[in-house]
Amino acid sequence: MNGDKVFVDTNVIVYAYDIDAGSKHQIAVNIMKDLWRSGLGMLSIQNMQEFFVIVTGKIKTPIDVSTAKEIIKRLSKWDIVTNDMTTVLEAIELHERYKYSFWDSLIIAAAASGGATTILSEDLADGQRIKDITIKNPFK
């Protein structure tokens, strides 16, 4: 990694802890390990909320609440973007312009607010550049 901040979308984090995610699990584990080593990982409060809901109830083999809480505590050591009204208004503009869902637009706005140069996500358009951020699908 080159020293630029990498914003990680929720799906990547979930796959890192979802043992039933097949090849995506190992790819996500490797990404997370690299970001832990480099210190370049970035998340938002939204990611933490989505991660908790998904891994404790929406995956095939859910994680218990206390384990999910500990994972979130560890991840809180990364750069964490807290969305404010500026971020929300930016997300609305991104939603209007790029036609992403509001929630995906909020991820992009949070990444921009935090100064990320890359977003890792399978939900956004691979290779697209928005606000000096490159979107990469690590599973492609």
For residue 120, tell me if it sits in a domain. Answer: yes
For residue 41, tell me if it sits in a domain. Answer: yes
Q: How many domains does the chain have?
A: 1
64 Rama class: left (phi>0) / alpha (psi -120 to 50) / beta: beta
For residue 84, tell me if it sits in a domain. Answer: yes
Q: Coil, strand, or helix at residue 129?
A: strand
For residue 1, tell me if it sits in a domain. Answer: no
CATH code, 78: 3.40.50.1010
What pTM, to 2 d.p., does this model score?
0.95
**Domain extent at residue 102:** 6-136
From first to last of its 140 residues, what are the pLDDT tens digits of the chain? 467 999 999 999 999 999 999 999 999 999 999 999 999 999 999 999 999 999 999 999 999 999 999 999 999 999 999 999 999 999 999 999 999 999 999 999 999 999 999 999 999 999 999 999 999 999 99
Q: Are 118 and 101 in contact (CB under 8 A)?
A: no
Between the alpha carbon of residue 99 and those of residues 17, 32, 92, the distances in Å are 30, 29, 10
